[in-house]
Structure 1
Amino acid sequence: MYKCSVILAAGKGKRMKTKLPKVLHKVCGKELVNHVIDTLKNCDIKDINVVIGNGAEEVKRATENRNVYYSLQTEQLGTGHALICSKDFFKDKKGILTVFTGDAPLITEESVKKLMEFHVKGNYKATILTSLVEDATGYGRIIRSDSGEVEKIVEHKDCSEEELKVNEINSGMYCFDIEELVANLDKLNNNNCQGEYYLTDVIEILKNENHKVGAIDINADEIKGVNSRIQLAEAEEIMRNRINKKHMENGVTIIDPKTTYIGNEVEIGEDTIIYPGNVIEGKTIIKGDCILYPNSRIKDSIIEVGVTIQSSVILESCIGENTTVGPFAYVRPESQIGKNVRIGDFVEIKKSKIDDNTKVSHLTYIGDAEVGSGCNFGCGTVVVNYDGKHKNKTIIGDNSFIGCNVNLVSPVEVEDNTYIAAGSTITKKVPSGALAVARAKQVNKEGWMEKSGLKK
C-alpha cells in the first residue's frame, strides 16, 4: 500500500522567544523537524511533504538533504488550513496519509508503524493517535462509542461534566485514507472564534457521513510538542535517556547517564566505558573496548577498538586502535591518527596524518603534516605551517626523533631515521640518517651581570 506523510512545520513558536524557526531548534544535536522526517523515512514512508511558513527558506536549507517535498502556508490559519495548502502533494494519490507535527520529535518508529497497521487492519477512514494522561486539562478529549470507535473530539472548554473525566487526549497526529481526506478537506470552514480551519473538523465530517474513525493510544511522552525552551529541555532529557538506555542495552557501560550526552546517530561498540561529562555528537562511531574518561567532546569521528581518551576534543577525525588521547588534547578536523599512538597533554593536531607507534606526548602543535611511524616528539615542538598567506606542508619520515623546543618551518621534509637536536629551527630538508642541529652557538660572557649593574 502507498504511504505518504505531511509534516506541519509552518508555525512561529512565539513562546520560544527566538529568531530561529521553532522546528529548527535541536534535541540531542538534531533539528526537531529532522527527527520527525528521519523517523518517518525509517518506517518506509518514501514521500514526505513539509508544510513551511515561518522561516521557510531556513527550514528548506536545514532539510534539503532529506529528499522531501514542500508546501507553503503563507498565513498560519490552523491545522486544517495547513493540509489544504499541501493538497497538491497528495490529491492524485491512493493509499494512506499520516500527519505529524514538526515540533514533536519524540514520536518513535514503533508507534508510527503501529498507527498505520491499526488504521489499515481496522479499515478506518481516519485514525487518531492518542495518549492516556493523568491530567487532561486543556486537551481535546477522545470520546469513544461502546465498540471503541471514535464518536467525536471535544475541546476542553466544550466538555460536559462527564466528558471532563475522560483522560484520553488528542495528539494532533493522524492517519487518513487519502481519497476520503481529499473529498472532505474542502468542506472545512473557519466559523469559530479563532477564525481558523481545524483538522479535527475532518473527523466530525467523516463521522457525520457514517465513516469509521479509530484511535490508538501510545506513551504520552511521544506526543509532547516543543513550544517553549522549558519543553525543549524536557524533550532533550527524554530523548537522551532513550539513547543512553539503548547503548547500555547493547553492552556499553555509562557510569552516569544523567551527565552523558550522546547524539541519536552515534554508534558505540560493546564493552566501551563512558565516564560522566562526555559529549558525543554527529555520526561518530566508537568501536568496542574503548574508555572515555570524564569531560571529552567527540564529533563526527571514528574511534577504533581499544582507544583511551581523557578530557579532550576530537572533531571529524579518525583515531586508530589502542591509541591514547589526552588529557587536554585537541584533534581538529581531517586528522588521521594511527594505531598505538600517544597524543598527550596539551597537544594539538590539525589536518595531519600521524602513523602507527608515534608518540606526541606533550605541549606540541602539528598542523598540515604527514608523520611516519615510530617517531618521537619532544616537548614544545611546533610545526610552523602558516607563512601569513598560505598553509604549507611538513613531511616527517619513519623513526624520526624530534627534540624538545624544535620548530619545523613548512614546507619542509624530514626523512626516515633522523635526529633533530633540541632547540633547532629546521628550514631545509633533513636527509635520512642525519643529525640536524640548527641553533646559534652558545656564548658565555663572564662577569656580565656585575658590569651591567644588574647583579642583586
Structure 2
Amino acid sequence: MDTKFARTPLSCIVLAAGKGTRMKSDTPKVLHRLAGRAMLDHVLDLCGTLEAQRTVVVVGHGGEAVAQAAAAHPVAAETAVQEPQLGTAHAVGKAEPLVKGAAGDVLVLYADTPLITAQSIEDMRVQRAAGASVVVLGFRPDDPGAYGRLILDGEGRLDRIVEAKDANADELAVDLCNSGVMLVDGAKVWDLVDRVGNANAKGEFYLTDIVGIAREQGLSCAVVEADETEVLGVNSRVELAEAEGILQERLCRRAMEEGATMLDPASVHLSWDTQIGRDVVIGPNVVFGPGVVIEDHVEIRAFCHLEGARVASGATVGPFARLRPGAEIGVDAHIGNFVEIKKARIEEGAKVNHLSYIGDARVGARANIGAGTITCNYDGFTKSHTDIGAGAFIGSDTLLIAPVAIADGAYTGSGTVVTKDVPRDALAVSRPDLKIIDGWAARHRARKQQRKKAG
C-alpha cells in the first residue's frame, strides 16, 4: 500500500446540522449515544485517529449543545453555523472560512454516520494520492432503494452520482450506492463547492453535484467501497439500536481477538472505552459502563454491571455483582453474588462474597466480609469513610457506622453494629446476650388457639 497519504495534511468537516425529527427527542440527534458515547464523539475520534490538522463541525439544530460537545472533545473541533439548512454543499461552504488556506485534502463526514473505520478513509487517501481529485465512499446494500447511485465510466472511474428519483431503469439497476462521505483535493474543493447550483425540486445545494462539475473540468473521480454496516446513517431510534448492535459486535470481537473469552458475546454490552486484558472470562449478560479496566486472568461471572471500575489480575466478580465508579478490586480478590462496591478499594486476596454493600471504604488484604455487611457511609448530609484492616473478619450482618476503622486482624461478631474504632486483633460484639425461655413456644401456641376458638 502506498503510504504517501499518511503524510498528506487533512482537514475534516463534520456535518451535524440536521434537525433529527425522526428521533422524536429533545436531545440533538448527533448527541444520542452509542456504546456510552455520543455519535458525534465517535466521528471526532475518527478525525483524531486520522490526525486531522483542523476539524470543523457544522451545526444547526441544537447548535449550542452540539458546539459544546465538539469543543469538549480532545480534537477541540471548531464550529460553523448553517442556518437555514440549504443542503450539504451549502453546509460544507459554511466551513470554508475556517478551513480555506489549510494545506492538503478536505474530508467530509457526517455526525450521524458514526461507524466508518479509519481503514476505509485510508483507502480513500490512497486514491487521492493516485491522482483522483474527488473520492467518494460507496457501498452495496442489499436493497439500494432510495440511495443515490454511483455511475462508473468504462475505465472504472466515477462518472456521476444520480439520485434514485432522477435515475433511469439502467441506473436504478446499479447497486453501487453513495454514502455521502467524500475526500476532495483541498486546492480544488472550494471552487467545486462554489459552482454547485440549486436548480432542483428542493432548491438546495447538493454536495454530490461536485462529481459532475469535476468531470466537466477534466478532473478524475474515484470510488472506494466500504461494508454497508460502516455507512449506516442513524435517523431514528430503530437505526440507533441497529448501529448499537453493529458496534457491540465489533467491540466484542476485538476483545476476543485480543485474548478474552466471552461465553455469550451477543449478551455482553461493552462501552467505547472498555479495556479487557488477556485470559479474561466474561459470562453472559454482563454490562460494562464507561471507564472500566479489566486486567489479565479475571473472571466476570453472569449478570454483573460494572462502571468506572478497575479489576486487577486474578480477581473474580459475580455473579450478580455491581461495581460502581471508584471501585478498585485488587489482585485475587473475590466479589460475590449480589454485592455492590462503590468508591472502595478491595485489596489483594480480600473477599466480599455475599449480599453486601461496601461504599467509601478500604478493605485490607485477605480480609473477609461476611454476608449482609453494610458500610453505613451516608448520614443524610455527608459521606464518611470506613477502613477495614488486613486480615480482619467481619461477621455476617455487621453494620459499620462510618467514619469508623477496624484494625488489622480484628473481628466483629455477627449482627454487630460498630459505632467506634476496633483495635488490632480485638473482637467487637454489640448484640445482647441470648435468653432461652423453656416451654414458651408451646404456651404461646396454646394461648393463640384458645383466643381463636373464643372468637
TM-score range, shorter chain: 0.7 to 0.9
Counterpart-to-counterpart distance in 1, 2:253 and 2:436: 67
Corresponding residue of 1:47 = 54
Q: Deviations over 1:16-60 (max 9, x none)?
A: 222221112223333222222212321222321111111112223
* Deviation of 1:90 (Å): 1.3
Corresponding residue of 2:98 = 89
Corresponding residue of 1:255 = 263
**Residue 139 in structure 1 maps to residue 131 in structure 2:** no
Q: CA RMSD in A?
A: 2.6
Question: Partner of 1:100: helix, strand, or coil?
Answer: strand
The alpha-carbon distance between structure 1 residues 252 and 7, as it changes in their structure 2 partners (threshold 3 A), is same
Q: Deviations over 1:340-394 (max 9, x none)?
A: 3232333333322222232333233332222322322333333222233222222
Question: Partner of 2:338: helix, strand, or coil?
Answer: strand
Structure 1 residues 335-414: aligned runs within 5 Å: 335-414=327-406
The alpha-carbon distance between structure 1 residues 62 and 340, as it changes in their structure 2 partners (threshold 3 A), is same
Structure 1 residues 14-163: aligned runs within 5 Å: 14-63=21-70, 64-66=72-74, 67-121=76-130, 123-163=131-171
The alpha-carbon distance between structure 1 residues 418 and 454, as it changes in their structure 2 partners (threshold 3 A), is farther
Q: Deviations over 1:62-83 (max 9, x none)?
A: 3322321111112111101101
Q: Deviations over 1:160-218 (max 9, x none)?
A: 33323322222211111122122233333322210211112222222222222222222
Identity %: 36
* Deviation of 1:240 (Å): 2.3
Gaps of 5+ in 1: 299-314
Counterpart-to-counterpart distance in 2, 1:258 and 1:46: 38
Counterpart-to-counterpart distance in 1, 2:342 and 2:222: 58
What count of residue pairs does the alignment treat as equivalent?
439
Counterpart-to-counterpart distance in 2, 1:115 and 1:398: 58
Counterpart-to-counterpart distance in 2, 1:411 and 1:99: 56
Question: Partner of 1:369: helix, strand, or coil?
Answer: strand
Corresponding residue of 2:3 = none
Q: Is the 8 A contact 2:294 2:312 kept in 1?
A: no
Question: Partner of 2:73: helix, strand, or coil?
Answer: helix
Counterpart-to-counterpart distance in 2, 1:222 and 1:404: 52
Q: Is the 8 A contact 2:318 2:335 kept in 1?
A: yes
Counterpart-to-counterpart distance in 2, 1:40 and 1:451: 78
Q: Deviations over 1:78-105 (max 9, x none)?
A: 1011011111111122311011111112
Counterpart-to-counterpart distance in 1, 2:99 and 2:28: 25
Counterpart-to-counterpart distance in 1, 2:326 and 2:415: 29
**Residue 219 in structure 1 maps to residue 227 in structure 2:** yes
The alpha-carbon distance between structure 1 residues 391 and 160, as it changes in their structure 2 partners (threshold 3 A), is closer
Question: Partner of 1:178: helix, strand, or coil?
Answer: coil
Q: Which residue, 312, 318, 332 being the options, matches 1:320?
A: 312
Q: Is the 8 A contact 2:299 2:317 kept in 1?
A: no
Q: Is the 8 A contact 2:40 2:114 kept in 1?
A: yes
Counterpart-to-counterpart distance in 1, 2:395 and 2:291: 37
Question: Partner of 1:343: helix, strand, or coil?
Answer: strand
The alpha-carbon distance between structure 1 residues 73 and 346, as it changes in their structure 2 partners (threshold 3 A), is same
Q: Which residue, 419, 430, 443 being the options, matches 1:438?
A: 430
Between 442-451 and 337-346, report the one with greater CA deviation. Answer: 442-451
Question: Partner of 1:39: helix, strand, or coil?
Answer: helix
The alpha-carbon distance between structure 1 residues 455 and 39, as it changes in their structure 2 partners (threshold 3 A), is same
Q: Is the 8 A contact 1:40 1:112 kept in 2?
A: no
The alpha-carbon distance between structure 1 residues 270 and 185, as it changes in their structure 2 partners (threshold 3 A), is same
Gaps of 5+ in 2: 1-7, 450-455
Q: Deviations over 1:251-289 (max 9, x none)?
A: 333333332322343232333333332223434332333
Counterpart-to-counterpart distance in 2, 1:134 and 1:402: 61
* Deviation of 1:150 (Å): 2.6
Counterpart-to-counterpart distance in 2, 1:355 and 1:274: 22
* Deviation of 1:249 (Å): 2.8
The alpha-carbon distance between structure 1 residues 438 and 75, as it changes in their structure 2 partners (threshold 3 A), is same
Corresponding residue of 2:418 = 426
The alpha-carbon distance between structure 1 residues 377 and 216, as it changes in their structure 2 partners (threshold 3 A), is closer
State the one-letter code of the partner of 1:36. V
Q: Is the 8 A contact 1:93 1:179 kept in 2?
A: no
The alpha-carbon distance between structure 1 residues 216 and 255, as it changes in their structure 2 partners (threshold 3 A), is same
Question: Partner of 1:261: helix, strand, or coil?
Answer: coil
**Residue 415 in structure 1 maps to residue 407 in structure 2:** yes
The alpha-carbon distance between structure 1 residues 294 and 430, as it changes in their structure 2 partners (threshold 3 A), is closer
Between 419-428 and 48-57, report the one with greater CA deviation. Answer: 419-428
Q: Deviations over 1:209-266 (max 9, x none)?
A: 2222222222233222112222222222222222233233333333333323223432
**Residue 170 in structure 1 maps to residue 178 in structure 2:** yes
Q: Which residue, 184, 203, 210 being the options, matches 1:202?
A: 210
The alpha-carbon distance between structure 1 residues 191 and 271, as it changes in their structure 2 partners (threshold 3 A), is same
State the one-letter code of the partner of 1:349. I
The alpha-carbon distance between structure 1 residues 218 and 392, as it changes in their structure 2 partners (threshold 3 A), is closer
